[in-house]
Amino acid sequence: MITLDAIGTFALIVGLLTLTPGLDSALILRTAALGARRRTWGVVLGIQSGTLVWGVLTSLGVTTLLTASHLAYETLRWAGAAYLVWMGGRMLWATWRRPSCESPRTAEAGSRDRTGADDTLLSGWRQGFGTNLLNPKMGAFYVAVLPQFIPSGASRLAPGVLLAGVHISLAVIWACALIAFGRVLRDRLRRPSARRHLDRITGTVITAFGVRLALGH
């Protein structure tokens, strides 16, 4: 049976990990700041679905392939890097493609139309799930950390899911704080130029994460 001390120590570790600025936080904050409420919660649910999958796979021993097989890790690493570069590049391309001479009213209306078209729970879930699941460092973290908190000789699945649930709970709390902050920024992002700057910053950050993942070892 997993102890409360083990749960507390694990919560401290994943809590610090959650608070560290990263791709998930940038994605949630950007989506919330654009006013896409349903898509934002879809992103949050997608990210946490990925966390749950990593927890279950690690508990079952499947993710040990990432550390035992160089090919498996490299395949996932390059797939994740390509996905991040593609997603960040799309954001950057969209900001450059918009006519610079369009009127603020027209640009703002077009931005609202695009946001409304993509403001669905499913589209956000797909984006968050793909971002989390294609991150091999997330799997490597779970492989390195999670087994240390699971009692030897006990069933691994139930404690693993419990610990992943602790991680998910803390991440959702942090996501709520990011969403609240994003809503504050939303009023400042009514101007199309401000939205373009936000997308350029977020797109650059996501692309940089992808390049760093590709060049990392």
For residue 156, the one-letter residue type is R
pLDDT-based confidence at residue 164 (cuts at 50, 70, 90): very high
- For 51, the domain range is 4-215
User: Above pLDDT 90, what percent of the chain?
Assistant: 27
H or E element in which residue 168 lies: helix 157-186
Q: In terms of Cα–Cα distance, which of 213, 164, 135, 150 is closest to 53?
A: 164
Alpha helices in 20-134 (DSSP H): 23-33, 37-59, 64-68, 70-97, 104-118, 121-133
Among 68-72, 144-148, 164-168, name the one with the lowest average pLDDT. 68-72
pLDDT at residue number 190: 64
pLDDT at residue number 207: 87
Hey, is 69 helix, strand or coil? Answer: coil
Q: For residue 199, give both structure tokens.
A: 């997308």
Q: In terms of Cα–Cα distance, which of 166, 198, 146 is closest to 18?
A: 166
- Over 60: is that where the pLDDT of 108 sits? no
CB 194 within 8 A of CB 110: no
Among 22-26, 47-51, 60-64, 119-123, name the one with the lowest average pLDDT. 60-64
Structure-model confidence comparison of residues 71 and 109, the more confident one: 71
Q: In whole numbers, what is the pLDDT of the chain averaged over residues?
A: 82
User: Above pLDDT 70, what percent of the chain?
Assistant: 85
pLDDT at residue number 73: 74
The span from the CA of 166 to the CA of 160, in Å, is 10
Tally the domains of the chain: 1
pLDDT at residue number 52: 95
Residue carrying structure tokens 């498996």: 72
Which residues lie below 8 Å from residue 171, measured CB to CB, with a gap of 6+? 14, 18, 24, 47, 48, 51
